[in-house]
Amino acid sequence: MYVFIVNPKAGKGKAKRIFEKIKETDSYQQINSEYYFTKYPGHGEKIAREIARKSLPETIIVIGGDGTVHEVINGAGDYKNIRIAVIPGGSGNDFARSCGIKGNAAEIFENIIRGENSESYWVGQYTLNKQLKKNFVNSIGFGFDAQIANKANHSFYKHIFNFLRLGKVTYIIALIQVLIQFQPMQIELEVDGRPRKLQNCWMIACGNHPYYGGGMKIIPGAANRSDRISLIIIHEISKWKVLTLFFTVFFGKHTSFKEVEVLEGRKIKVSSQHLLHVQVDGETAVCYQSQIEKNPTPLSVVRQTKK
């Protein structure tokens, strides 16, 4: 059984258009399938949870962006008997990028139904203010990047640049807007039981793979592993230098700056006496503390067939 979860609003309607074209293919007509359109934020999680409760072998095909993938994976629970496939249809598509999924949607669909190349993918787990654990598929970040994501998500220009396929421009404009008023943070960081106090810290980001923000290589050396998460810290830095640093993020060259530190760990704790802006797979919130580690149960994900 193939279950499609489609976000019709993703990519300004791109995801819906992709699905309509797939429905016209001979391959779609030959498979046993059903489909659902998400109708509101969080609906993808609810749909996936209902599918997971059936306890039947399923392939869930997500057509949308990173936000839709995030919802589906959180709803699918411990992923028993469920395989996840993604046809990118959003504005960022960093999860698909990390899995090497690109190109023509019909070809990606054919690759999925061949079913020869599922691999284990370990998502991250996090808590905010000691609430229930949730999963992140791409990254979780605190500070400067989270404020940029928040500014971009609520901007009037995001839809314009996404329509023009210039999504990265949205983040550049938001970066400059946040930079003007940003105040560095006092952070207590603990990595595998080793505590540190960070003064005038700009950001901390943890990732399952290198990408975020639509292809920016925030942690260039990150790789998906079962027990470790990569993280990056940007320490005290001048605002003018931040501009240079973040333009190099698109190419993964920012790690050469002396203010940038790259680490990895099994268990990470971030806390502050002041509210921290946080982004999880691009969605934003605030918190005082967070705990981060790997989900021990791997996700079975369809990767692109190598040619």
Give the relative orientation of helices 167-181 and 144-153 as an angle to the nearest 10 degrees: 120
Q: Where are the beta strands (DSSP E) in 95-220?
A: 118-121, 124-128, 134-136, 139-143, 185-191, 194-201, 203-207, 211-212, 216-217
Q: Are 179 and 243 in contact (CB under 8 A)?
A: yes
Q: Which residues contact 13 (CB under 8 A, 6 or more apart)?
A: none
Q: What is the pLDDT of residue 165?
A: 67
List % helix, strand, coil for the chain (3-state, nearest 5): 30, 35, 35
CATH topology of domain 2-116: Rossmann fold (3.40.50)
DSSP conformational letter for 306: P
Q: What is the pLDDT of residue 282?
A: 86
Within the chain, all domains assigned CATH 3.40.50.10330 are found at 2-116
Q: What is the pLDDT of residue 18?
A: 96
For the structural domain made of 125-294, what CATH number should be given? Answer: 2.60.200.40
pTM for the complete prediction? 0.90
Rg (CA), the chain: 19
Q: pLDDT by residue for the chain (307 residues), tens digit each?
A: 899 999 999 988 999 999 999 999 999 999 999 999 999 999 999 999 998 888 666 899 999 999 999 999 999 876 667 889 999 998 789 999 998 898 899 999 999 998 767 889 999 999 999 898 999 999 999 999 999 989 988 877 776 776 666 666 777 888 889 999 999 999 999 999 999 999 999 999 999 999 987 788 899 989 999 999 999 999 999 999 998 898 898 888 999 999 999 999 999 999 999 999 999 998 999 999 999 999 988 888 888 765 5
Give the C-alpha separation, 146 to 171, whole Å.
11
